[in-house]
Amino acid sequence: MEFREVMQEKYKEILESYMKDQNEQALYLSQKFSRKSIEHKISPEEIISLHKTALLDLGIEFSEAMLPSFDILLEVMMAYGLAYREHQNLRTIQQELKSEIEVAANMQQTLLGTQVPDVDCLDIGAISVPARQMSGDYYHFVQDEQGAVSVAIADVIGKGIPAALCMSMIKYSMDSLPEGQYEPSQVLESLNRVVEQNVDPTMFITMFYGMYNTVNHTFYYSSAGHEPGFFYDHKTKDFKELYAKGLLLGVSKKTKYRQFEKKVEVGDIILLMSDGVTECRTEEGFIEVDTLKGYIQKYIHLEAQEIADKVYKELEFLQGFQLRDDFTLIILKRIK
Amino acid sequence: MNITIDVKETELQTKVRIAGEIDAYTAPKLRETVFPYTERETSNIVVDLSEVSYMDSTGLGVFVGLFKSLNANGGTLQLIGLSERLRRLFDITGLADIMNINSEVEGGV
C-alpha cells in the first residue's frame, strides 16, 4: 500500500472509532497521527481532504448539503499549507547555516589558537568568552628566544563573522613579524599599516600590546585605542591604570604609538582586558571600575587562571548569565 | 535598547540629535540614517550626543566610519554634548585627538 493510502486507512479507523463512542483513545491516536503527518510533510489542506474522503467512505449519515462546505474549508487552508511548506524549507536552510557557522567557529578556534607561555617567573591566566558564536575579542601570546613574553589583546569593532575574519588576518600579520621585532610600539605601527590597507573602512581594531622582559622584569606596552589594563602593586595593595593612549588601528596610516614601561616586582600583577569587562552592564547600570577591582582583590591570592575564571563567574552572574559583549581577561603575575 | 535619531538640515550644517543607546543592535540604524549625508560634497555634520546613555565599540565604529567618509568628501564632523563616560571612550581610542569633540562653537546647544 502507498503511504498516503495507509494514512487514509489509519485516519478512517480513528474517525470511525471516535464517531462510535467518543473514546479518549481515539483522541490520543489523532494527536499521534498529527505528529506523524507533520513528519511526512502532509499539508493542512490534505488533512481536510482526508477527512472528507473518510466521511464518504464510512457512509456516515450527514446532510449532503454539508459536503460542499469542505471545499471551502480546503481552499481556505491552502494558504496555511503554503506557509507551512515555506516554514519547512526555511528550517532546513537554517539548519544548514547553523552547522556552517559551527564549522567556521571551530575553524576560528583552531586558527586563532594560542598557547599560554610557560615561564618560571610568571604565572599566566587567560579567559575569553564570546557573547555570540564567533568572538571579536582576541588574545595572542608570543615567546621569543631571549625569554621575553609578548601578549596582544584586541577587539575588532564590528561583531560576528566579519570581525572573526579580520582577526585571522591580524593574527597572520603578527605571526609573520620579523623575529626579534616585538617592541610594542613597532608591532602596533606595523599592524596599523596592515589594517589600514586591507580592512573595510567601517571596521576597526583596538589592541593593547605588551612585552614582559623576563631578564629585567620590566613590562613594555603600547595601546591602540584599547581599554587600559590595570597594574596591581603587591606592596601597596593598590591598583593603577596602565594608561597608554593611542589611535585605533586602521584609522590613519601614519599613526605613531608611544611606548610605556613599568617595573614589575615579585607579587605584582598585570591585568589586561577587553571592554566587555569594564563596559559590563547589569540591570541597574554599569559596573563601576571599583566593583571590578573589588572582585579582583577578592581573588588576588589565587593562581592567575583561577583569578580570571572567578572574576568572569562574578561578572557573568551580575549580568544575569547573558553576556552582551565578548569578554576577555588576561592575568600576568610575577611569582619570582 | 532603543535609539531615536533626529536629523535637521540647515544651509550651513546637518544637525543630528541622538537619544538612547548606541550598541551592536542600534548602530546599523544610526549608520544607515547618517551615512548618506556624509557622501554629499562638503557637508558639515554636527552630532549631539547629550541624550546618549550608552555607547559601545560598535557605536564608536560608526563615528569613525562617518569621520572617514566626511574627510574623503571634504566635509566636517563635530560631536557635541558628550558625557564624561563617552568622552573617556573617545580619549582612550585616540579619536579625541583627530576629531572635533565638545568644542561647541557657533550655534552650539
Q: What is the CATH number of the domain that holds B89?
A: 3.30.750.24
The C-alpha atoms of residue A333 and residue A152 are separated, in whole angstroms, by: 16
Is the domain defined by A112-334 classed in CATH 3.40.1280.10?
no
Residue B86 is assigned to a structural domain of this protein = yes
- The grid cell for B32 is 544607515
Answer yes or no: is B108 within a domain: no
Per the structure, the complete domain to which residue B20 belongs is given by 3-101
Which candidate from A202, A228, A286 shows the least CB-CB separation from B65?
Answer: A202
Q: At what angle do helices A3-21 and A44-58 cross, to 10 degrees?
A: 60
Flag whether residue A224 sits within 8 Å of chain B, measured between CB atoms. yes
Total tally of structural domains belonging to chain B = 1
Nearest Cα residue to A240 out of A264, A206, A215, A208: A264
In this structure, is residue B19 part of a structural domain? Answer: yes
Q: Are B64 and A226 inside 8 Å of each other by CB?
A: no
Quick check: A325 and B65 CB within 8 A?
A: no
Per-residue model confidence as pLDDT tens for chain A (336 residues): 678 888 899 999 999 999 888 899 999 999 999 988 888 888 888 899 999 889 888 887 777 778 888 888 888 888 888 898 898 899 999 999 888 888 877 877 777 778 888 888 888 888 887 776 555 678 888 888 777 888 999 888 765 666 677 777 788 888 777 766 678 998 899 888 888 776 666 677 889 999 998 889 999 999 998 888 889 888 888 888 888 888 988 888 888 999 999 999 998 989 998 866 555 454 555 556 777 788 888 888 888 888 888 888 887 777 666 666 677 889 899 988
* CATH 3.60.40.10 domain position(s) in chain A: 112-334
Let me know if residue B106 belongs to a domain: no
Across the interface, which of B56, B58, B94 has its CB nearest the CB of A246?
B94
Quote the ipTM score.
0.73
Write the CATH number of the domain with boundaries A3-98.
Answer: 1.10.1240.30
Q: Would you say residue B107 lies in a domain?
A: no
Q: From the CB of residue A264, how many other CB atoms can be counted at a distance below 10 Å?
A: 24
Decide if B54 touches A, using CB distance below 8 A: yes
Option in B58, B68, B93 nearest A201 (CB): B68
DSSP A249: B
* Every domain range in chain A assigned CATH 1.10.1240.30: 3-98
